[in-house]
Amino acid sequence: MDAMLTIEGLTATVDDKPVLKGIDLAVPAGEVHAIMGPNGSGKSTLGYVLAGREGYEVTGGRVTFRGQDLLAMEPEDRAAAGLFLAFQYPVELPGVGNANFLRQALNAIRRKRGEAELDAMQFLKLVRAKMKALGMTEEMLKRFVNVGFSGGEKKRNEILQMSVLEPAFCVLDETDSGLDIDALKIVADGVNALRSPERGMLVITHYQRLLTYIVPDRVHVLVGGRIVRSGGPELALELEEKGYGELQEAA
Amino acid sequence: MPAVAETIDTVRDVTEGSYKWGFETEVEQDIIPKGLDEDVIRLISAKKNEPEWLLEWRLKAFRAWQGMDEPRWAAVSHPPIDFQGLSYYAAPKQAKAPKSLDEVDPELLRTYEKLGIPLKEQERLAGVAVDAVFDSVSVATTFKDKLAEVGVIFCSFSEAVREHPELVRRYLGSVVPASDNFYAALNSAVFSDGSFVYIPRGVRCPMELSTYFRINARNTGQFERTLIIAEAGSYVSYLEGCTAPMRDENQLHAAVVELVALEEATIKYSTVQNWYPGDAEGRGGIYNFVTKRGACRGAKSKISWTQVETGSAITWKYPSCILQGEGSVGEFYSVAITNNRQQADTGTKMIHLGKDTRSTIVSKGISAGEGQNTYRGLVRIMPKADRARNFTQCDSLLIGDRCGAHTIPYIESRNPTAKVEHEATTSRIAEDQLFYCRQRGLSEEDAVGLIVNGFCREVLAELPMEFAVEAQKLLAISLEGSVG
């Protein structure tokens, strides 16, 4: 069976420096895969390349997402196709209301898919239900996108967007960074609630900590732009114990 | 907010960066020959059957103008204007002045319909009264009878001269003197028409008043005058809109607006300026050299200017408030966009004369392409203006790396009890903001529209609802092609 996301021989540069040096990875629908690795190994770059960020130059390889050539698509088309990136550092949009932003995004995606747009009332009903499930207060909807949000609030806002947009595939880029343990649990609960047989996930993290709460099906270790080891969830624990040192030497 | 959805719809509708108001209307025109001298002024005055005092007033202004130089201090550049190469009067030919809308040339009505100002329909449906000015003359004013019931006078300037000469004579030039500056003097000499508003004591004007200016004729300038008088305790909200055909040559628009607010009166004056901005290479477009000033004569009176400036090749405009009455309030909310080769030098003057006067300035400048955007503002606190207060906020947003934003605030305080605050920021639409929006499914243009609307939020919130939607659409259209 074809995986939902298949990455083959992917190489990419940032500022002309090679960062990804040949990634092969397949994530089937219904599975959560974790990418672990030390700083500078290319984890975030992989997320940005998948989402199509400018300045992240693909130099070789291919990525197939639900049967489509992902790398040929514009970022907004990748979003409409069902790819969602939860940002490590969610971006502030001054003056842009959080609810408005989310509705614009949802309707843009729905339009691209040929689905009917939601009016303000329908949207509000949807988003209220999602917020309740995530234990979030509605006050967050009235604020400007991520402006003045605490680290934890920003990450929860990402999870809210994810649960409203209902993407087929989620890439979570160091969603655990900057979170205390309580916030981490809330975010992990939100992510776990989105796990489903139809949805794939790629969880990028430096630490094993997050994977205690979001238990992955597979763990891949990224070092020096290559996946140097893959295994089950136990691999994360092993890394926590031994660190990346040995693997870095091997790479 | 449905308004932002509108913006997005508009961007989607318009696939090429086109100025959709750029069409020309085929009507028979009465145009006087090019050139400007005293005979031309006499001719304009005669065409309008003006009283002698008004002709004299024009001639005095003309003589003053002849001795004046074009202002050179603004941060704009353009080839010299040949003031003898223009025609100073153009009007659609009509057998006689139309008494009602039924007598107006259907071609003109169609023009306003195309511009989204259906004069006939408007009369029946919307709660907005419109004065439609086509080149040099007012072609129609709607809702006049209904307004007359509460004593509000809303008519063309020419009609006001005929029907209410005592009011015109008393207030004309009382805020912007005929010799105030080069363009105001020129306007005073040759102005052709415009709108006149009078709100009697204690009356809250029951609907929005609006003037829609349209330049159509070639090689003409448009010189209209607006005079609004709000008697004690009255309130009026007034809006002007403007468009022009696309032409390769530049056209001159030099208007004068005078506002008078008496005791506890409020005038809210909103502008959505959408003159043809010229093409991407900077060919054509309107030179918009406008003098707007309001006098808060009475205690606790208030004048609030809101402007959304998206059009014109060059904008030179400083809507100002003279805060004379004790406790009077002046406000200036502005969004100015310059894209491609557009230049804008705009801002305000707040002159504090009376005690406890307050002013607020919020200016949002957006530069894209090779656009140059200058905020130029003066806050002057005179010696008797005890406890005067001003707050100024100037924010600039840059899109791309070939445009410019400049902020030139002048602050003169001659009263130690005054408090003046100034804040300024300059920012760029960051790549990460665009990417964030696109990752959530928004197109690049929608993302820019969203970010720009967010940036202008405080100003757009000041516009009457119907026009806020229009303004948001314009912002998006004006910035088309500015990214990517």
Q: ipTM score here?
A: 0.95
CA atoms within 13 A on the CB side of B375: 31
Are B456 and A95 inside 8 Å of each other by CB? yes
- CB-nearest to B450 from A51, A75, A96 is A96
pLDDT at site A93 = 94
Burial of residue B456 (number of CB atoms within 10 Å: 0-12, 13-18, 19+): buried
- On the question of pLDDT at B3 being above 50, the answer is no
Say if B79 is an interface residue toward chain A (CB within 8 Å).
Answer: no
What residues of chain B lie within 8 A of the CB of A93, using their CB? 433, 436-437, 450-451, 454
pTM of the model: 0.81
pLDDT at site B11 = 34
Of B126-130, B163-167, B291-295, the range with the lowest mean pLDDT is B126-130
pLDDT tens-digit readout, B316-329: 899 999 999 999 99
- On the question of pLDDT at B333 being above 60, the answer is yes
pLDDT at site B126 = 55
- On the question of pLDDT at B6 being above 50, the answer is no
Say if A64 is an interface residue toward chain B (CB within 8 Å).
Answer: no
- On the question of pLDDT at B90 being above 80, the answer is no
What mean pLDDT do residues A81-93 have? 95
pLDDT tens-digit readout, B406-422: 899 999 999 999 999 99
What residues of chain A lie within 8 A of the CB of B446, using their CB? 104, 108
Query: What are the tokens at B360?
Result: 């607020």
- On the question of pLDDT at A159 being above 70, the answer is yes
Best of A49, A89, A93 to mutate (most B CBs within 10 Å, chain B): A93
Of A14-23, B23-32, B75-84, the range with the lowest mean pLDDT is B23-32
Give the dihedral sign, CA A48/A53/A59/A65. positive
Are B441 and A90 inside 8 Å of each other by CB? no
- On the question of pLDDT at B99 being above 90, the answer is no
CA distance A46 to A203: 11
What residues of chain B lie within 8 A of the CB of A104, using their CB? 4-5, 8, 442, 446, 450
Say if B295 is an interface residue toward chain A (CB within 8 Å).
Answer: no
pLDDT at site B460 = 84
pLDDT at site B112 = 67
- On the question of pLDDT at A138 being above 90, the answer is no
- CB-nearest to B439 from A75, A101, A112 is A75
- CB-nearest to B1 from A51, A100, A109 is A100
Query: What are the tokens at B337?
Result: 């966009």
What residues of chain B lie within 8 A of the CB of A95, using their CB? 453-458
Of A167-176, B22-31, B340-349, B379-388, the range with the lowest mean pLDDT is B22-31
Of A72-76, B27-31, B52-56, the range with the lowest mean pLDDT is B27-31
Are A108 and B8 inside 8 Å of each other by CB? yes
pLDDT at site B327 = 97
B241 to chain A, closest Cα gap in Å: 26
Say if B442 is an interface residue toward chain A (CB within 8 Å).
Answer: yes
Are A55 and B453 inside 8 Å of each other by CB? no
Are B442 and A104 inside 8 Å of each other by CB? yes
pLDDT at site B145 = 80
What mean pLDDT do residues B461-483 have? 73
Are B450 and A90 inside 8 Å of each other by CB? no
User: Please, which pLDDT band fits residue B82 given cuts at 50, 70 and 90?
Assistant: confident
Percent of chain B with pLDDT over 90: 43
Are A74 and B438 inside 8 Å of each other by CB? yes
pLDDT tens-digit readout, B252-302: 888 999 999 999 999 999 988 887 777 777 777 888 889 999 999 999 999
Of A105-109, B104-108, B381-385, B425-429, the range with the lowest mean pLDDT is B104-108
What residues of chain A lie within 8 A of the CB of B459, using their CB? none
Alpha carbon separation from A125 to A122, A132, B33, B399 (Å, rounded): 5, 11, 65, 36
pLDDT at site B422 = 92
B97 to chain A, closest Cα gap in Å: 48
pLDDT at site B245 = 63
pLDDT at site B14 = 34
- Interface contacts (A, B; CB < 8 Å): 88
What mean pLDDT do residues B432-446 have? 93
pLDDT at site A12 = 97
Q: Quote the mean pLDDT of chain B.
A: 84
CA distance A116 to A108: 10
pLDDT at site B135 = 64
What residues of chain A lie within 8 A of the CB of B436, using their CB? 87, 90-91, 93
The answer for A224, left when phi > 0, alpha when psi is -120 to 50, beta otherwise, is left
Are A79 and B5 inside 8 Å of each other by CB? no
- On the question of pLDDT at A160 being above 60, the answer is yes
pLDDT tens-digit readout, B202-252: 999 988 888 877 766 666 778 889 999 999 999 999 988 766 666 667 778
Asked if A25 and A33 count as a contact pair (C-beta separation under 8 A), the reply is: yes
Best of B437, B443, B458 to mutate (most A CBs within 10 Å, chain A): B437
- On the question of pLDDT at B160 being above 90, the answer is yes
User: Please, which pLDDT band fits residue B125 given cuts at 50, 70 and 90?
Assistant: very low
- CB-nearest to B441 from A94, A105, A117 is A105
Among A179-188, A208-217, B70-79, top mean pLDDT goes to A208-217
What mean pLDDT do residues A46-52 have? 97
Say if B455 is an interface residue toward chain A (CB within 8 Å).
Answer: yes
- CB-nearest to B432 from A84, A91, A100 is A91
User: Please, which pLDDT band fits residue B101 given cuts at 50, 70 and 90?
Assistant: low
A228 to chain B, closest Cα gap in Å: 29
User: Please, which pLDDT band fits residue B481 given cuts at 50, 70 and 90?
Assistant: low
What mean pLDDT do residues A101-105 have? 95
What residues of chain B lie within 8 A of the CB of A100, using their CB? 1, 4, 450
User: Please, which pLDDT band fits residue B15 given cuts at 50, 70 and 90?
Assistant: very low
CA distance B180 to B171: 15
Smallest CA–CA distance from B441 into chain A, residue: A76
Core vs surface per residue A87-107: b (16+ CB within 10 A) or e: bbebbbbbbbbbbbbbbbbbb
CA nearest to B239, candidates B3, B7, B471, B464: B464
pLDDT at site B166 = 96
Give the dihedral sign, CA A68/A72/A77/A82. positive
What residues of chain A lie within 8 A of the CB of B432, using their CB? 91
Say if B8 is an interface residue toward chain A (CB within 8 Å).
Answer: yes
Smallest CA–CA distance from B397 into chain A, residue: A94
User: Please, which pLDDT band fits residue B10 given cuts at 50, 70 and 90?
Assistant: very low
Say if A15 is an interface residue toward chain B (CB within 8 Å).
Answer: no
- On the question of pLDDT at A47 being above 60, the answer is yes
- CB-nearest to B4 from A53, A75, A104 is A104
Say if A76 is an interface residue toward chain B (CB within 8 Å).
Answer: yes
CA nearest to A36, candidates A249, A250, A233, A251: A233
Please, which residues have CB within 8 angstroms of residue A114's CB and are 6 or more apart in sequence? none
Are B438 and A95 inside 8 Å of each other by CB? no
User: Please, which pLDDT band fits residue B339 given cuts at 50, 70 and 90?
Assistant: confident
pLDDT at site B7 = 37
What mean pLDDT do residues B442-453 have? 89
Say if B450 is an interface residue toward chain A (CB within 8 Å).
Answer: yes
pLDDT at site B318 = 94
Percent of chain B with pLDDT over 70: 82
> Tokens 């656009």 identify what position?
B371
pLDDT tens-digit readout, B174-203: 999 999 999 999 999 999 888 999 999 999
Say if B5 is an interface residue toward chain A (CB within 8 Å).
Answer: yes
Percent of chain A with pLDDT over 70: 98
Core vs surface per residue A233-244: b (16+ CB within 10 A) or e: bebbeebeeeeb
pLDDT tens-digit readout, B70-79: 888 888 888 8
A204 to chain B, closest Cα gap in Å: 17
- CA A61 to centroid of chain Cα atoms: 21
> Tokens 């200036």 identify what position?
B332
